[in-house]
Amino acid sequence: MKLNILFEDKDILVVEKPAGMESQTAKSFEPDMVSEIKKHINNISTKKEQPYVGVIHRLDKPVGGVMVYAKSQSMAEALSRQVSGHQMEKIYYAVVCGKPVENFATYVDYLWKDGKNNCSKIVEKGIKGAKPAELDYWVVDYRVLDGKELSLLKIRLKTGRHHQIRVQMAGHGTPLWGDRKYNPEFQGFLSKEHVALFASGLTFTHPLTKKSMSFSIKPQNGIFSHFSFGDVF
């Protein structure tokens, strides 16, 4: 595969992860982002040792979008501190079934991860293992397609919990289009179309130069092609 590289220097690499690919080293024989980035670095480098590729944040396999990777452990640690300190801004676009009650709102929930079944649930505060999850959303566009009400949302993720956007949207009555795990309408439904969630924007500070770095990609394929982004993108 050919990587869509948005930025690269000797310290970091910003790239678009395709939907359907693991963002970290996969246990299967399928391609994953870390392996593909290592191949890329080997092709442009004269060094013979195995390149370092640090995973800073993750996207679910069916979700595509912007990601940053580190080329050294020190860069990985510096970027990871930005993630844990909520200094890395992440913007997503999603198509949900239905229409949220408000055109703009903040969701604050507590999520509990079920590792055995690889899913998360909204639970009451105080449940052992539950972690706070927060996001902002805006309704960008609304369509009725084949008799179904669908909304295009812009989402600012404030925390990075397991399946957070998918779980919170489903829990508030507007599950994501194509989500076979959290949308009952698509459970057991075989389709090549991925869940309608895309990591569109990423902003962080370069650990070495201290410059603010901002990258964005507009989702265009699949169900996203039916919506207008207007001037919000």
Task: Look at the block and give the residue holding tokens 């507007």.
Answer: 174
Whether residue 228 is predicted with pLDDT greater than 70 in this model: the reply is yes
Q: Which domains does the chain have, with CATH numbers?
A: 4-226 (3.30.2350.10)
Q: What is the pLDDT of residues 77-105, one digit of tens each?
A: 999 999 999 899 999 999 999 999 999 99
**Percent of the chain scoring above 70 in pLDDT:** 96
Identify the band that residue 204 occupies on the pLDDT scale cut at 50, 70 and 90.
very high
pLDDT recorded at residue 166: 96
Token code pair at residue 141: 């566009």
Q: What is the DSSP letter of 81?
A: H
Q: Name the residue among 168, 58, 55 with its Cα closest to residue 105.
A: 168
| Alpha-carbon torsion (61, 87, 54, 117), positive or negative | negative
- Paired residues of 131 in beta bridges: 111
Q: Which class for 67: exposed (0-12), middle (13-18), buried (19 or more C-beta within 10 A)?
A: buried
7 token code pair: 């930025």
Q: What percent of the chain has pLDDT over 90?
A: 79
**Residue among 161, 112, 164, 118 at smallest CA distance from 137:** 164
Residue 233 Cα distances to 4, 49, 93, angstroms: 20, 41, 10
Report yes or no: 122 and 171 within 8 Å, Cβ to Cβ: yes
Q: How confident is the model at residue 48 (pLDDT cuts 50, 70, 90)?
A: confident
